[in-house]
Amino acid sequence: KAGVTQTPRYLIKTRGQQVTLSCSPISGHRSVSWYQQTPGQGLQFLFEYFSETQRNKGNFPGRFSGRQFSNSRSEMNVSTLELGDSALYLCASSLVPPETQYFGPGTRLLVL
Amino acid sequence: SQQGEEDPQALSIQEGENATMNCSYKTSINNLQWYRQNSGRGLVHLILIRSNEREKHSGRLRVTLDTSKKSSSLLITASRAADTASYFCATAISGGYQKVTFGTGTKLQVIP
């Protein structure tokens, strides 16, 4: 089975712009979670989607949003980018929550 | 805030030695998972231990869980240079959700 894929892998944006990141889970996995990783804050949970419904949300401002499609693919969007949004964004999928998560390689976002 | 706190934050050992990392958490959990991350890449799942289990083995890995102390430990025996990575514990709460909270991580360096 193919692993979790994330696109793009690297992204450079400027403050005020918006960005959309994409995640394709392992085939058959219906749960997709997103995490933000920064040196200062570590791994922070953003949100989890299951069957197109957001079931959990972390402590992030409303500028961070996401969605899941009927094929379980997920996107997350960050609007009005700030310098502090520079991070590695990781997507993970699982078959049956809260079981083992399989992570993608991440999207490294740099906000200038 | 982080649910899990790993200890130590950094560990440097010689190849062939054993490495032990500890994780403490705050609330009741469904399971506890250990992940490895190589140099800012995606996380790789190592082992999952359920709240009703006390010990689990996988190859050179041994994980223990003490729910009364809200703590877990990861032992890597006969370490190799390839084990150099950051190790994270992640706790999943009950409820059928994928609400996993990661600890701060332990940076392990194995010197050849």
Digit-coded pLDDT (tens) for B21-37: 999 998 888 899 999 99
Look at A98 and B45 and tell me if their CB atoms are within 8 Å: no
In angstroms, what CA-CA distances link A20 with A3, A75, A76? 20, 7, 6
How much is the average pLDDT of A39-45?
A: 87
B77 phi, psi to nearest 5 deg: -90, 155
Percent of chain B whose pLDDT exceeds 70: 91
Q: Evaluate if residue B1 carries a pLDDT over 50.
A: no
User: Which of the pair, B29 or A17, is modelled with greater confidence?
Assistant: A17
Please answer whether residues B1 and B57 qualify as being in contact, where contact means their C-beta atoms are separated by less than 8 angstroms.
no
Look at B100 and A45 and tell me if their CB atoms are within 8 Å: yes
pLDDT of residue B97: 62
Q: Evaluate if residue B86 carries a pLDDT over 60.
A: yes
| Mean pLDDT, all residues of chain A | 93
Tell me the residues of chain B between 71 and 100 that have a Cβ less than 8 Å away from chain A. 88, 90, 92-93, 95-100
| Mean pLDDT, all residues of chain B | 90
Q: Write out chain A residues lying below 8 Å of B35, CB-based.
A: 103
Percent of chain A whose pLDDT exceeds 70: 99
In angstroms, what CA-CA distances link B106 with A19, A46, B100? 31, 22, 18
pLDDT of residue A96: 75
pLDDT of residue B68: 95
pLDDT of residue B39: 83
pLDDT of residue B41: 79
User: Which of the pair, A100 or A4, is modelled with greater confidence?
Assistant: A4
pLDDT of residue B96: 57
- Among all residues of chain B, which has the CA nearest to that of A4? B42
pLDDT, tens digit (0-9, with 9 covering 90-100), for A55-107: 888 899 999 999 999 999 999 999 999 999 999 999 999 987 777 899 999 99
Within 13 Å and on the Cβ side, how many CA atoms surround A86?
11
Q: Write out chain A residues lying below 8 Å of B41, CB-based.
A: 105-106
Give, rounded to a whole angstrom, the gap between the first and last alpha carbons of chain B.
Answer: 36
How far A16 CA lies from chain B's nearest CA (Å)? Answer: 26
Q: For residue A39, is the peptide bond before it cis, meaning its omega torsion is within 30 degrees of 0?
A: no
How much is the average pLDDT of B63-86?
A: 96
